[in-house]
């Protein structure tokens, strides 16, 4: 005895059973049956995208619906709107598409026909043991997306990748967490990336990438008597330079018992 979901299938299948000769015919007949349950009516075969006022609709599959070996093209109508059911088989995969001709919304369903269809005659359960699951997929993946227009929602509601308003050199491979500022940019309250005042003493020595300004030790210019950019004792603290260095820094070992003066 047919369940409520498959009520009417036996009568429909009897009208096409003599024409069935391959497993994809069974799947198209089942798809047609579920389309009828959704109030669509068939108006013929082909891919004509024009709809005239004198089109006659029917619950039956039209003559020639399975003439092709591996392709199907059926036209349906609902609320004066034209829909097209197109299907083709590639090896073991049977691809079914439903197109709303007016909105261009299209859905698709991929079925493994050889695994699903076990017989070409008998009850629906005999031919497709998983018929209930297949019908559910036809509704959810093929019919509902087009009739409700949710195929558009799927393509337009995908959140875009967040835009990162930064320069390329803002990327710091050593960063783990916490505030981050691009080289050369000021941090909060005019500080450098490590929280020291801009150009503050010691900030450069704390920055492994050397971005924080002058440190306790400076860098000699590459021209003049000191070559190679060697680090040396600056003439004065911070960015200012005092005219004469204090020559008691970095005394040689054993120079005296006193500390630096």
Burial (CB count <10 Å: 0-12, 13-18, 19+), residue 26 = buried
Count CB-CB contacts under 10 A for residue 38.
15
pLDDT for the residue numbered 148: 87
pLDDT for the residue numbered 211: 54
Is residue 160 situated within a structural domain? no
Kindly report which listed range (8-17, 149-158, 219-228) carries the lowest average pLDDT score.
Answer: 149-158
106 and 209 share a domain?
no
Reported as a single tens digit per residue, the pLDDT across 38-50 is: 999 999 999 999 9
What CATH number does the domain containing 109 carry? 3.40.1000.30
Is residue 194 situated within a structural domain? yes
207 and 81 share a domain?
no
112 and 31 share a domain?
yes
Which residue would you say has higher pLDDT here, 244 or 116? 116
Is residue 101 within 8 Å of residue 84, measured between CB atoms?
yes
Q: Which backbone phi and psi does 214 adopt, to 5 degrees?
A: -65, 145
Is residue 128 within 8 Å of residue 38, measured between CB atoms?
no
pLDDT for the residue numbered 254: 62
Reported as a single tens digit per residue, the pLDDT across 165-176 is: 444 444 444 443
pLDDT for the residue numbered 54: 86
Query: Is the pLDDT at 204 greater than 60, yes or no?
Result: no
Q: What is the mean pLDDT of residues 9-20?
A: 96
Domain limits for position 186: 180-215
Is residue 31 situated within a structural domain? yes
Q: Indicate the pLDDT class of residue 151, thresholds 50, 70 and 90.
A: very low
Strand order in the sheet with 41-45: 41-45, 71-78, 81-90, 93-100, 106-112
Kindly report which listed range (38-52, 57-71, 124-138, 205-219) carries the lowest average pLDDT score.
Answer: 205-219
Q: In whole angstroms, give the CA distance from residue 125 to residue 119.
A: 10
Is residue 108 within 8 Å of residue 151, measured between CB atoms?
no
Q: Indicate the pLDDT class of residue 5, thresholds 50, 70 and 90.
A: confident
Q: Indicate the pLDDT class of residue 81, thresholds 50, 70 and 90.
A: very high
Q: In whole angstroms, give the CA distance from residue 127 to residue 25.
A: 11
21 and 101 share a domain?
yes
Query: Is the pLDDT at 136 greater than 80, yes or no?
Result: yes
DSSP for 25-87 reads HHHHHHHHHHHHHTT-EEEEES------TTPPPBSSPPTTTT-SSSEEEEEEEETTEEEEEEE
Domain count across the chain = 2
72 and 108 share a domain?
yes
> Which CA distances in Å does 157 have to 140, 150, 152, 153?
19, 10, 8, 6
Which residue would you say has higher pLDDT here, 238 or 35? 35
Judged by DSSP in three states, 226 sits in coil
142 and 45 share a domain?
yes
pLDDT for the residue numbered 203: 53
């Amino acid at each position: 005895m047919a369940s409520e979901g498959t009520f009417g299938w036996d009568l429909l299948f009897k009208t096409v059973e003599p024409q069935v000769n391959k497993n994809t015919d069974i799947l198209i007949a089942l798809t047609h049956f579920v389309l009828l349950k959704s109030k669509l009516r068939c108006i013929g075969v082909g891919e004509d995208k024009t709809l005239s006022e004198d089109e006659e609709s029917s619950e039956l599959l039209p003559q020639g619906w399975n003439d092709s070996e591996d392709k199907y093209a059926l036209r349906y109508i609902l609320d004066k709107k034209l829909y097209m059911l197109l299907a083709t088989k590639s090896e073991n995969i049977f691809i079914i598409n439903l197109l709303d001709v007016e909105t261009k919304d299209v859905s698709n369903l991929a079925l493994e026909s050889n695994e699903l269809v076990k017989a070409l005659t008998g009850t629906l359960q005999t031919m497709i043991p998983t018929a209930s699951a297949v019908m559910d997929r036809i509704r959810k993946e093929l019919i509902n997306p087009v009739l409700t227009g949710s195929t558009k929602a799927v393509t337009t509601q995908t959140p875009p990748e967040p835009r990162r308003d930064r320069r390329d050199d803002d990327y710091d491979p050593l960063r783990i967490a916490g505030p981050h500022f691009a080289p050369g940019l000021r941090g909060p309250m005019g500080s450098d990336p490590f929280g020291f005042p801009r150009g503050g003493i010691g900030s450069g020595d704390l920055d492994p990438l050397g971005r924080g300004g002058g440190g306790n030790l400076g860098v000699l210019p590459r021209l003049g008597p000191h070559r190679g950019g060697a680090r040396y004792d600056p003439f004065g603290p911070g960015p200012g330079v005092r005219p004469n260095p204090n020559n008691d820094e970095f005394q040689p070992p054993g120079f005296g018992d006193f500390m630096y003066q």
